[in-house]
């Protein structure tokens, strides 16, 4: 099973990606987590990525694409990608990576959460986790960048017949069950 999970910042992608990947016994790969770990460890990649993360901007495609290819090349079976692709150029890069392996995507999960709830969740996370990109002006920028650069990707995947829309409101466990049920239903 090769899946993407998409949705705006605060939709719960990371939380659901881990739970759903566990349920399906595939690894979940989060580009945001990989960037944050590199920032913490002070690697070259981390030093490059930090200023983009702190500003709520996307890390440049060349950096992100290379990182994802390296990670996916290590895998033999399926995966759940969380937070990638986020730009049209990344969609093309992922198509190429998969084509080189002779595979394609099976499904693209999209978590839908109301705008008010998104802002509430992100502000709450800023207080509890202290993520540097959860400051209010950065949150606003991340939501903007999402609607400008990433929302258009939903059309691309819809045209390929891959989209599976899931309501992301409510309890974490309920959302996980909805995602798994939706995957079963769409065969
Ligand atoms: P969220 O979706 O809640 O904003 P993530 O952890 O997925 O959180 O991403 C945090 C940050 O990491 C993004 O704002 C961006 O700077 C960087 N990032 C993650 N994935 C990508 C990507 N595919 N392309 C470019 N930058 C990315």
> Which pLDDT score is estimated for 70?
93
How many other C-beta atoms lie within 10 A of the C-beta of residue 57?
Answer: 15
Task: Decide: helix, strand or coil at residue 111.
Answer: strand
Per-residue burial over 167-184, b if 16 or more Cβ lie within 10 Å, else e, is ebeeeeeebbebbeeebe
> Which pLDDT score is estimated for 124?
87
Catalytic residue positions, numbered: 13, 86, 125, 131, 142
56 lines ligand 1 (CB under 6 A): yes
> Which pLDDT score is estimated for 93?
98
Give the model's confidence band at 2: pLDDT under 50 very low, under 70 low, under 90 confident, else very high.
Answer: very high
12: alpha, beta or left? (left if phi > 0; alpha if psi -120 to 50): left
Which amino acid residue places its CA nearest to atom 4 of ligand 1?
A: 9
46 CA distance to ligand 1 centroid (A)? Answer: 13
Q: In this predicted model, what pLDDT tens digit does every residue of 87-129 receive, in sequence order?
A: 999 999 999 999 999 999 999 999 999 988 998 899 888 778 8
The whole-model pTM stands at 0.92
167 CA distance to ligand 1 centroid (A)? Answer: 21
> Which pLDDT score is estimated for 130?
75
> Which pLDDT score is estimated for 126?
77
Please compute the mean of the pLDDT values over residues 159-175 and round it to a whole number. 97
pLDDT of 186 > 90? The answer is no
Q: Going from the N-terminus, what domains does the chain have, and what CATH number goes with each?
A: 2-186 (3.40.50.300)
> Which pLDDT score is estimated for 131?
77
Which amino acid residue places its CA nearest to atom 5 of ligand 1?
A: 32
Q: Is 64 annotated as a binding residue?
A: no
Which amino acid residue places its CA nearest to atom 23 of ligand 1?
A: 84
53 lines ligand 1 (CB under 6 A): yes
Cis omega (within 30 of 0) on the bond before 125?
A: no
Is 93 within 8 Å of 153 (Cβ atoms)?
no
> Checking DSSP bridges between strand 79-82 and strand 107-112, what pairing results, if any?
unpaired
7 lines ligand 1 (CB under 6 A): no
Rounded to the nearest angstrom, the gap between the alpha carbon of residue 70 and the centroid of all alpha carbons in its chain is 17
Q: Is 14 annotated as a binding residue?
A: yes
31 lines ligand 1 (CB under 6 A): yes
> Which pLDDT score is estimated for 132?
75
């Amino acid at each position: 099973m090769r899946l993407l999970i998409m949705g705006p910042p605060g939709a719960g992608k990371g939380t659901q990606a881990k739970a759903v990947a566990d349920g399906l016994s595939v690894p979940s790969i989060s580009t945001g987590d990989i960037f944050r770990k590199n920032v913490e460890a002070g690697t070259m990649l981390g030093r490059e990525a930090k200023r983009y993360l702190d500003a709520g901007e996307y890390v440049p495609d060349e950096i992100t694409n290379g990182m994802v290819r390296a990670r996916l090349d290590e895998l033999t079976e399926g995966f759940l990608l969380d937070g990638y692709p986020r730009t049209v150029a990344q969609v093309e890069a992922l198509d190429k990576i998969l084509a080189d392996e002779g595979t394609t995507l099976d499904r693209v999960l999209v978590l839908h959460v109301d705008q008010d709830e998104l802002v509430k969740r992100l502000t709450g996370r800023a207080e509890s986790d202290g993520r540097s990109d959860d400051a209010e002006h950065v949150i606003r920028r991340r939501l903007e960048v999402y609607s400008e650069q990433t929302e258009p990707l939903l059309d691309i995947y819809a045209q390929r017949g891959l989209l599976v829309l899931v309501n992301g409101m409510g309890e974490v466990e309920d959302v996980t069950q909805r995602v798994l049920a939706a995957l079963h239903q769409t065969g």
